[in-house]
Amino acid sequence: MKVTETALPGVLIIEPQVWGDERGFFQEVYRANRYTEYGIPQPMVQDNQSFSRQGVLRGLHVQHPNAQGKLIQVYRGEVFDVAVDIRRGSPTFGQWVGATLSEENKRQFWIPPGFAHGFLVTGENALFTYKNTDYYSPETEFGVRWDDPDIGIQWPLDGKPELSRKDLTAPLLRDIPPDRLPGYEDYT
């Protein structure tokens, strides 16, 4: 397994080892003790699966409290996946990193608790899964606007993405009260 640090400390790109031949391939998708070595906390308590068509953008989503760390992988198709540091007091507050995840590259993306998460389907469609370190908590979930100019995410798209009503009306990061945001000290 190859693990690459990104520009945001704690956000990782993981390339699991894949064994393949003309019959197909085998990949160990998750093994707790191996992931713990890289600082990914345990336990993982919830697995989610999402299917979307090309041009759909989901996010930027976060929970606080009850923040979720997410281990993400695409099983069919391709997405551009993004993590944004929204932890008040963080030296990388408001910065983002992105990674292309696909069925071909079999990469995983680790997004620690306290970061906002979003993705854009860049392939024809995408079957997307993620393991979570905490349970979904709708009462503590909120969003940050996907095209916040202060964050400046460079989404690989032509035209406008397809968004949910909730994502269309999400506020800019600067308009979210600071006490609503996770604290850097809470998730380091």
Here the CATH number for the domain that contains residue 110 is 2.60.120.10
> Active site includes 130?
yes
Instruction: Exactly one of 130, 135, 136, 187 is catalytic; name it.
Output: 130
Catalytic residue among 61, 64, 136, 187: 61
Q: Is 136 a known active-site residue? A: no
14 touches 110 (CB < 8 A) = yes
The pTM of the full predicted model, rounded to 2 decimals, is 0.94
Phi-psi region of 169 (alpha: psi -120 to 50; beta: other; left: phi over 0): alpha
Report pLDDT for 55: 97
Count of alpha carbons within 13 angstroms of residue 105, beta-carbon side: 16
- Tens-digit pLDDT profile for the chain (188 aa)? 999 999 999 999 999 888 888 988 888 888 889 999 999 988 999 999 999 999 999 999 999 999 999 999 999 999 999 999 999 999 999 999 999 999 999 999 999 999 999 999 999 999 999 999 999 999 999 999 999 999 999 999 988 999 999 999 999 999 999 999 999 988 76
- The tokens of 174 are what? 């600067």
- How big is the CA angle at 155 (ends 149 and 156), to the nearest 5 degrees? 150
Full domain range(s) for residue 109? 2-187
* Total of domains in the chain: 1
